[in-house]
Amino acid sequence: MLKHVTIAGKWEQLRGLDGGDMHFIYLTNDRVLFISHGFSCIWRSENGGKSWEMIKQKDFVDVHFYDMAELDGKLYAGSNKGLWYSEDRGKTWMKIPTIKDVDDGRYHAISLAVYDGKLFFAVVLDKPYRHENPGDSKLYYLENKQVKEFSIPTKEEITISARDPYLLVSGPYSGLYVYSNGS
């Protein structure tokens, strides 16, 4: 039976943004808050959401984030237009060249995880290219500034998560898989 538990605290709606279609949220280790808007905007806050700034840069037109990860002092973001990184707490972002289908938006970088000291990112085929089928997925990682593909047991709409020594792959059509590096 489900037991109702009350936790001390209160909910508060954060104000100051243009609309309510927020579909992504991430809080960094040093407490910078990011959200992505359904209209393809990325916002950041350094004060817990009391005030927000939209990240405005020329190459961020129609870009929205799906996931973020932190590795070696950098922030990484997966988006509808490739993989990005920031070295200044997310004030500015640079695109990481990966593979053509990811960089041009045919595949979206929807899920990121740090595993075995490397940044892993799962990509899924965008809806216009699926022909009403599940989205084909691939898993890549960055090593020495090179993009390498990682073999996975399923190819349909995966997301990933990791906590060494485990890498987890999950999808609505395939279930859950766990990979261990043996350490």
Is residue 17 included in any domain, yes or no?
no
Could you tell me whether strands 65-71 and 107-115 are parallel, antiparallel, or unpaired per DSSP bridges? unpaired
Taking 3-state DSSP, the helix, strand and coil percentages for the chain, each rounded to the nearest 5, stand at: 5, 50, 45
Mean pLDDT taken over the chain = 90
Is residue 106 included in any domain, yes or no?
yes
Overall domain count for the chain: 1
CATH number of the domain where residue 119 is located? 2.120.10.10
The domain of 107 spans: 22-180
Q: What is the pLDDT of residue 23?
A: 78
Q: Which of 153, 144, 129 lies closest to 80 in space, CA to CA?
A: 129
Q: What is the DSSP string of 102-169?
A: HHTTSEEEEEEEEETTEEEEEEEE-GGGTTTSPPBEEEEEEETTEEEEE--S--BS-EEEEETTEEEE
Is residue 5 included in any domain, yes or no?
no
pLDDT interval class at 12 (50, 70, 90): confident
* pLDDT over threshold 90, residue 39: no
Is residue 9 included in any domain, yes or no?
no
CA angle at 64 for the pair 60 and 67, rounded to the nearest 5° = 125
Residues 139-174: pLDDT tens digits? Answer: 999 999 899 999 999 989 999 999 989 999 999 888
Is residue 40 included in any domain, yes or no?
yes
Q: What is the pLDDT of residue 62?
A: 87
Q: What is the pLDDT of residue 166?
A: 95
pLDDT interval class at 66 (50, 70, 90): very high
Is residue 4 included in any domain, yes or no?
no
- For residues 152 and 175, give the distance between their C-alpha atoms in angstroms, rounded to a whole number: 13
